[in-house]
Amino acid sequence: MFYSWQSLSLFDTWHANVKEMLGIPYPGRNARTGEIDEDAQWTDAYTNPVIVSQTDVRAFVEDEIAVRFPDGLGVPTSPPIAIDDD
Binding mask 24-63 for another protein (x = CB under 8 A): -------------------------------------x-x
> ∠55-57-63 over CA atoms, to 5°?
135
CA distances to 14, 15, 19, 59, 80 from 3, in Å? 12, 12, 17, 6, 10
Closest by CA position to 73, among listed 85, 86, 84, 60: 60
**CB of residue 39 vs another protein: minimum separation in angstroms?**
32
Q: Is 1 in the site for another protein (CB under 8 A)?
A: yes
Supply φ then ψ for residue 79, to 5 degrees.
-60, 145
**CB of residue 81 vs another protein: minimum separation in angstroms?**
20
Given the complex with another protein, which of 6 and 30 has the nearer CB atom? 6
Contact residues toward another protein (CB under 8 A) are 1, 3, 61, 63-64, 66-68, 70-73, 75-76
